[in-house]
Every structure is written in C-alpha cells, then in structure tokens.
Amino acid sequence: MKFCAVAEGDADVYPRFGQTMEWDTAAGDAVLRAAGGIVLDREQHPLRYGKAGLQFRNGPFVAWGDRKAIKPSSAADR
C-alpha cells in the first residue's frame, strides 16, 4: 500500500529502515518503477532481487516517487 501511495503521488517518499523480504517489496517496486519512481538501497543502488546468498532479505531502502527528485548519481540512473 505504501508503494502505491508513492506511485499515485499521494506521498513523495517511503523510507523503510527495518528488514523486509524480497517478496514483501517486489510487486510494490514494480508498480512504482512503472509509474516513474525508484527504490534505492542504502548505497543508492536500485533494489535487487534474487539474492539467495542473503536468504532473499532486503536491507533498509527508500522508495522515491520521482527519479528526477533524487540527487544525480550513476547508481540512481540505472
């Protein structure tokens, strides 16, 4: 629901500081990306999936509704 609020423009950003699993974020991430947003990890890289070595865990992330609102970096442009 929070990803959808960002995708619809009802919120600009959704920070998540606790751990999640990939299946908790995959659908929302896809909806947000289709709407022009992006989800970045703590290193400012787009959230990755298929991390079997990490038992499919996500670390902290921030979901942004507008890629252009993010400070330009090569990681955010991927």
pLDDT at 2: 95
CATH code assigned at 44: 3.40.190.80
Q: Which one-letter amino acid corresponds to residue 18?
A: G
- Residue-wise pLDDT for 39-54, tens only, equals 999 999 999 999 999 9
**Helix-then-strand count for the chain, H and E:** 2, 5
64 lies in which domain range? 2-69
* 24 belongs to an annotated ligand binding site: yes
pLDDT at 72: 59
Residue 78 lies in a domain: no
Q: How many distinct structural domains can be found in the chain?
A: 1
Contact 45, 78 (CB under 8 A): yes
Q: H helices of the chain, where?
A: 2-8, 22-34
